[in-house]
Structure 1
């Protein structure tokens, strides 16, 4: 039980950090118009969608 809770907390923190990084990337892109930065930020935000699903599945298992 304790291991599942630690895993859930780690997933939640990972999602929050990735959202912050993706948002920061989009903000910097707005100022610099670097296309590579836009691409990277987009991939990070797309990855967050998969992590949201992972968090949802993990909560149902608990």
Structure 2
């Protein structure tokens, strides 16, 4: 194999490695985004539960006052 061929092969390998790294980075970013979305959803659910509990308490207090 000539030097030129070796250089070409090395360049191709480097390009492939770079592409793989980019793909891995993209996957990691996607995973992070998904995790963030899940966390946001959990927070929203918790807030809703807290609001419901507060409403329940208010209703109970109103009932007690009504009696």
TM-score by length of 1: 0.50
